[in-house]
């Protein structure tokens, strides 16, 4: 299959660099500080989004879950049926809503959004519409297959293995509050991130890479729909399993509604990471040692390193993001050099103009 882009994002600068950046604790903390600083006012909006989410989620759960459970009781549905159908419907709904929202952003091309675009190359639909339409059809078909075939089969198989017993809580008397949701999400993030990192690296092993993960890497530059554009096996072992580890460990210490919130957060992070925009207000970037959209975009454009999802820690520990930081350093240096050149050019031009004006004045006086 053909890659959606032949050239990589930010490919104007080479990735090779002779001096790797330091990777001691001090430099990691320093890079963390500058990551927050770069967000500027975006940090305030990111905090407001996160706070609103944490306040609204328990209110929505308290208002929606009890009437839904009344319906479940009146219909005589079993726990596993609620888990199965609601999980699937929720997952598909999130994918459809988030992709439509992203599509609207790509379509309207507001300068407000476009200034956050990561790549300097045009969007694939601008660069080659014919090739893009083929890729879009393939993407919709594969994402739909994963959502409507791969995922239902996987969840059903999981339930069958567990004898249709679901450990999660479904009661209305112990609904989660903000703090429970926050700590549960943090735990699920840590579990997902480590599992995702290890499986993702395994999927990049050259012996098996061409059979599964190569499909996801057909997107050399990331856009929303690329998030779930994966070979079904890659989708199950590289996305579904890492996303389920936290809930499997917590079992009856986790409420099903918190699990739904987690699914929303996980899918949102994946879409944000593949959006092609580095939004300064992204609530995901508030997370300590978080990755970024540029971080995962680099993974697609250069197909090297940056294997983690939520946190950059495992990549740092295993030395898998050195090339990315070298690249960012080079981009920064190139930008600074360009700015300096521009300033020098403007200075010389101004000097030349004022000299000409002075000469003109002198000629007039003569
Ligand atoms: Zn990959
Ligand atoms: Zn990806």
pLDDT in tens, 16-30: 334 445 566 777 777
230 Cα to the center of ligand 1, angstroms: 10
Nearest ligand by distance to the CA of 214: 1
Residue 10 corresponds to which tokens in the numbers above? 């930010």
Tokens of 298: 């680099």
Q: Return phi, psi of residue 290, to 5°.
A: -75, 160
pLDDT at position 338, please?
86
Rg, Å, the chain Cα set: 25
263 in the same domain as 211: yes
Distant-in-sequence contacts of 14-19, Cβ < 8 A, 24+ apart: 14/330, 15/302, 15/304, 15/323, 15/326, 15/327, 15/330, 17/326, 17/327, 17/329, 17/330
25 lies in a domain?
Answer: no
Residue 209 Cα to ligand 1 midpoint, Å, equals 9
Residue 331 lies in a domain: yes
Residue 329 and residue 218 share a domain: no
| Per-residue pLDDT tens digits of the chain, which is 366 residues long | 444 444 433 443 333 334 445 566 777 777 777 777 777 788 899 999 999 999 999 999 999 999 999 999 999 999 999 999 999 999 999 999 999 999 999 999 899 999 999 988 899 999 899 999 999 999 999 999 999 999 999 999 999 999 999 999 999 998 999 999 999 999 999 999 999 999 999 999 999 999 999 999 999 989 999 999 999 999 999 999 999 999 999 999 999 999 999 999 999 999 999 999 999 899 998 899 999 999 999 999 999 999 999 999 999 999 998 889 888 888 888 888 888 888 889 888 888 888 888 888 887 776
Any bridge partners for residue 311, and if so which?
290
Domain that holds residue 167: 38-319
Both 277 and 338 in a single domain?
no
276 and 329 share a domain?
A: no
Number of CB atoms found within 10 A of residue 150's CB: 21
What is the distance between the alpha carbons of residues 366 and 356, in angstroms, rounded to a whole number?
15
96 and 207 belong to one structural domain:
yes
pLDDT in tens, 247-267: 999 999 999 999 999 999 999
Closest listed ligand to the CA of 197 = 1
In this prediction, residue 8 carries a pLDDT of: 39
How many structural domains are present in the chain?
A: 2
Q: What is the predicted pLDDT for the residue at 15?
A: 36
Question: 258 lies in a domain?
Answer: yes
Cα 358 to middle of ligand 2, angstroms: 60
State in Å: Cα 144 to ligand 1 middle: 21
Compute, in angstroms, the gap from residue 54 CA to the centroid of ligand 1. 31
pLDDT per position as a tens digit, 171-193? 999 899 999 999 999 999 999 99
- pLDDT at position 333 is 86
- Contact present, 224 and 140 (Cβ < 8 Å): no
- 203 to 1, 56, 207, 271: CA distances (angstroms): 18, 37, 9, 20
Centre of ligand 2 to C-alpha 312, Å, is: 15
How much distance in Å is there from the Cα of 298 to the middle of ligand 1? Answer: 10
Q: Whose atoms come closest to the Cα of 199: which ligand?
A: 1
**Ligand 2 mean position, distance from CA 215 (Å):** 10
Extract the tokens encoding 146: 């994963």
- Residue 4 domain flag: no
Residue 299 CA to ligand 1 centre (angstroms): 7
Q: Which ligand lies nearest to the CA atom of residue 270 in the structure?
A: 2
- Is residue 272 one of the residues assigned to a domain? yes
Of 319, 337, 358, which closes a domain?
A: 319
Predicted local distance difference test score (pLDDT) of residue 23: 60
204 within some domain: yes
Domain membership of residue 27 (yes or no) is: no
Let me know whether 52 and 163 are in one domain. yes
At 237, give phi and psi (nearest 5°). -80, -25
The pLDDT, as a whole number, for residue 167 is 94
Partners of 240 in the beta sheet? none
Ligand 1 centroid – CA 338 distance (Å): 32
Cα of 284 vs centre of ligand 1, distance in Å, is: 20
Asked if 241 and 334 sit in the same domain, the reply is no
Ligand 1 centroid to Cα of residue 320, in Å, is 12
Residue 7 lies in a domain: no
Whether residues 257 and 142 fall in one domain: yes
Residues 220 and 342 occupy one common structural domain: no
Closest alpha carbon to 90 in 264, 228, 236: 264
Measure 356 CA to ligand 2 centroid, in angstroms: 56
Question: Could you give the angle at the alpha carbon of 245 between the alpha carbons of 198 and 102, nearest 5°?
Answer: 80
Cα 224 to middle of ligand 1, angstroms: 16
How many Å lie between the centroid of ligand 1 and the Cα of residue 220? 11
Let me know whether 234 and 138 are in one domain.
Answer: yes
Q: Both 299 and 338 in a single domain? A: no
Residues 113, 249: one domain? yes
Query: 310 C-alpha vs ligand 1 centroid, how far in Å?
Result: 14
């Amino acid at each position: 299959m053909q890659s959606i882009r032949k050239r990589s994002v930010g490919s104007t600068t080479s990735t090779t660099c002779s001096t790797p950046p330091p990777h001691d604790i001090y430099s990691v903390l320093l890079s963390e500080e500058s990551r927050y600083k770069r967000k500027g006012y975006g940090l305030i909006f990111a905090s407001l989004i996160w706070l609103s989410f944490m306040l609204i989620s328990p209110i929505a759960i308290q208002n929606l879950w009890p009437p839904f459970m009344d319906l479940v009781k009146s219909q005589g549905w079993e726990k596993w049926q609620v888990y199965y159908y609601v999980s699937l419907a929720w997952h598909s709904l999130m994918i459809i809503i988030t992709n439509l929202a992203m599509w609207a952003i790509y379509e309207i091309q507001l300068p407000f959004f476009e200034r956050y675009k990561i790549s300097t190359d045009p969007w694939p639909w601008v660069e080659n519409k014919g090739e893009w339409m083929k890729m879009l059809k393939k993407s919709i078909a594969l994402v739909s297959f994963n959502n409507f075939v791969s995922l239902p089969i996987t969840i059903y198989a999981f339930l069958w293995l567990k004898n249709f017993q679901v450990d999660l809580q479904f009661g209305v008397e112990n609904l989660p509050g903000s703090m429970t949701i926050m700590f549960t999400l943090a735990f699920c993030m840590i579990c997902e991130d480590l599992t995702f990192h290890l499986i993702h690296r395994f999927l990049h092993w050259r012996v098996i890479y061409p059979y599964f993960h190569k499909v996801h890497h057909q997107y050399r530059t990331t856009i929303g729909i690329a998030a779930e554009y994966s070979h079904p096996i890659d989708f199950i072992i590289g996305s579904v399993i890492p996303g389920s580890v936290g809930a499997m460990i917590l079992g009856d210490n986790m409420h099903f509604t918190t699990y739904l919130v987690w699914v929303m957060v996980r899918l949102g992070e994946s879409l944000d990471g593949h959006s092609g925009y580095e939004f300064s207000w992204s609530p995901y970037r508030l997370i300590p040692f978080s990755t970024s959209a540029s971080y995962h975009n680099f993974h697609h454009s250069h197909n090297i390193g940056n294997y983690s999802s939520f946190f950059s820690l495992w990549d740092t520990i295993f030395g898998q993001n050195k090339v990315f930081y070298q690249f960012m350093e080079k981009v920064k240096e190139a930008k600074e050099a360009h700015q300096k050149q521009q300033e020098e050019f403007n200075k010389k031009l101004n000097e030349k103009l004022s000299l000409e004006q002075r000469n003109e004045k002198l000629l007039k006086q003569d």
